[in-house]
């Protein structure tokens, strides 16, 4: 699991990093002393798990979660037990650990996170899109609905769902961007942001950090922009 | 008065001396800064900000194994949110104990 740590206290980040180093399956990609920096990072990078402090100046852990369109799994790390009830109102929060964190409790939280990710993976595989030539079948309410792949112009991640937009209709499917990305031809489709895949043939125009596609303005991550520019037949 | 110890740090390190040194060094850097901000805010009677400072400091109190002191810090933080400073002297004694201990390690 790729993870990041967000905590304004250096001591806490050092401790969580040390705990992570004792878990083989964990890979700490970055640490942040404030949530704003982390939001910028998440706009350009996909991660599985966040260790998040609640008490931070200016922008709390809960403020941070509310800014995320498609949040990864989150383990809250805090010195306060009083926010536990509020915490579990968020689907993305898998556990709530009180500092100082001991290794056994940390391992237990990770097991919960791993189990949640496993459930998600198996759940989406039940509803996986299947392709046949130019068609994509999506599972909605136990019906397999056929979609003509070139008619798709935008796919947007929305929590545990994806919104597939076509010329005629929009479909909301319980699946992930990664799952559908694997089913679509690379020659037409491109992921331009952690939450968006577009049909490059349907682009109307491109501004600095966004693409106009039909009536949708879609953000382009800085890291994905070079690939998008490569795909265009530039004069 | 209970005294600070490194039991938690050692349990966390799993014998990794480099990590222990690194963590102690970070605490020795961060603690005086947090203490000084706390003192500034309590002197200015900014109790909400002071409560936030106590919140941060109590993590270090717990890392150094000061269990009873941690309970005092929890209560003091709650009291400060109600503009009550009755535990001020007790809390500042804890800060001094930690200050003294950090000089020795």
> Burial, A232: exposed, middle or buried (Cβ in 10 Å; 0-12, 13-18, 19+)?
exposed
Predicted confidence at residue A118, as pLDDT, reads 60
Q: Are A31 and A22 in contact (CB under 8 A)?
A: no
List the single residue in B19, B26, B52 with the smallest CB-CB distance to A55.
B52
The C-alpha atoms of residue B6 and residue B90 are separated, in whole angstroms, by 22
Predicted confidence at residue A132, as pLDDT, reads 53
Enclosing H/E stretch for A148 = strand A143-148
Q: What CATH fold (topology level) applies to the domain A130-231? A: OB fold (Dihydrolipoamide Acetyltransferase, E2P) (2.40.50)
Enclosing H/E stretch for B27 = helix B17-43
The C-alpha atoms of residue A5 and residue A33 are separated, in whole angstroms, by 8
**Model confidence over A50-61: pLDDT tens digits?**
999 998 887 889
Pairing state between β A216-219 and A210-213: antiparallel
Domain coordinates in residue numbering, chain A: 2-125, 130-231
Put simply, the answer to whether A103 touches B12 (Cβ < 8 Å) is yes
A60-63 CB contacts, 8 Å cutoff, 24+ apart: A60/A35, A61/A6, A61/A35, A62/A86, A63/A35
Q: What is the CATH number of domain A2-125?
A: 3.40.50.2300
**Can you give the pTM of this predicted structure?**
0.66
Predicted confidence at residue A167, as pLDDT, reads 85
Q: Are A154 and A185 in contact (CB under 8 A)?
A: no
Predicted confidence at residue A128, as pLDDT, reads 44
3-state secondary structure of A159: coil
pLDDT band at A124 (very low <50, low <70, confident <90, very high): very low
Q: Are A71 and A24 in contact (CB under 8 A)?
A: no
Query: What is the ipTM score, two decimals?
Result: 0.94
A-chain residue closest to B21, CA distance: A14
A10: Cβ–Cβ under 8 A, 6 or more apart, which residues?
Answer: A33, B26, B29, B30
- Count of CB atoms situated within 10 Å of the CB of A55: 17
Q: Are A196 and A158 in contact (CB under 8 A)?
A: no
| Mean pLDDT in residue range B80-105 | 97
Q: Give chain A's length.
A: 235
The C-alpha atoms of residue A195 and residue A121 are separated, in whole angstroms, by 17
User: pLDDT > 70: what percent of chain A?
Assistant: 92
pLDDT band at A207 (very low <50, low <70, confident <90, very high): confident
Residue with the larger pLDDT of the pair A227 and A4: A4
Predicted confidence at residue A106, as pLDDT, reads 95
CB contact A27 to B (< 8 Å): no
**Model confidence over A57-112: pLDDT tens digits?**
878 898 899 888 788 999 999 988 788 777 878 889 999 999 999 999 999 999 98
Confidence check: pLDDT of A188 > 60:
yes
CB contact A134 to B (< 8 Å): no
| Mean pLDDT in residue range A164-177 | 88
The C-alpha atoms of residue A159 and residue A173 are separated, in whole angstroms, by 11
Choose the weakest-confidence range: A26-40, A217-231, B40-54.
A217-231
**Model confidence over B48-62: pLDDT tens digits?**
999 999 999 999 999
Supply the angle between the helices A10-21 and B47-63 in degrees, to the nearest 10: 40
> Which of A 91-110 lie inside 8 A of B, CB atoms?
99-100, 102-103
3-state secondary structure of A171: strand
């Amino acid at each position: 699991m790729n993870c990041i740590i967000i905590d304004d206290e250096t001591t806490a980040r050092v401790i969580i990093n040390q705990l992570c180093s004792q878990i083989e399956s964990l890979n700490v990609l970055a640490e942040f002393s404030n949530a704003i920096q982390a939001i910028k990072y998440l706009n350009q990078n996909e991660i599985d798990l966040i260790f998040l402090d609640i008490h931070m100046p200016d922008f709390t852990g809960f403020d941070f979660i509310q800014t995320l369109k498609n949040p990864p799994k989150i383990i809250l790390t805090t010195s306060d037990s009083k926010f536990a009830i509020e915490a579990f109102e968020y689907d993305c929060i898998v556990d709530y650990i009180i500092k100082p964190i001991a290794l056994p409790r940390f391992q237990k939280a990770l097991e919960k996170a791993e189990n949640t990710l496993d459930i998600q993976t198996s759940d989406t595989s039940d509803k996986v899109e299947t392709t046949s030539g130019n068609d994509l079948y999506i599972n909605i309410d136990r019906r397999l609905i056929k979609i003509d792949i070139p008619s798709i112009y935008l796919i947007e991640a929305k929590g545990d769902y994806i919104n597939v937009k076509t010329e005629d209709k929009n479909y909301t499917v319980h699946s992930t961007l990664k799952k559908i990305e694997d089913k679509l031809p690379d020659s037409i489709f491109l992921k331009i942001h952690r939450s968006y895949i577009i049909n490059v043939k349907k682009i109307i125009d491109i501004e600095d950090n966004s693409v106009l596609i039909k009536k949708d303005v879609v953000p382009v991550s800085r890291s994905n922009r070079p690939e998008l520019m490569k795909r265009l037949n530039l004069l | 008065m209970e005294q600070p110890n490194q039991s938690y740090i050692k349990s966390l390190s799993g014998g990794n001396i480099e990590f222990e040194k690194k963590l102690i060094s970070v605490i020795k850097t961060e603690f005086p800064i947090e203490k000084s901000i706390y003192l500034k805010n309590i002197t200015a009677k900014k109790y909400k900000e002071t409560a936030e400072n106590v919140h941060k400091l109590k993590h270090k109190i717990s890392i150094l194994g000061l269990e009873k002191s941690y309970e005092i810090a929890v209560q003091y933080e709650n009291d400060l949110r109600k503009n009550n400073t009755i535990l001020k002297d007790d809390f500042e004694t804890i800060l001094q104990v930690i200050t003294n201990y950090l000089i020795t390690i």
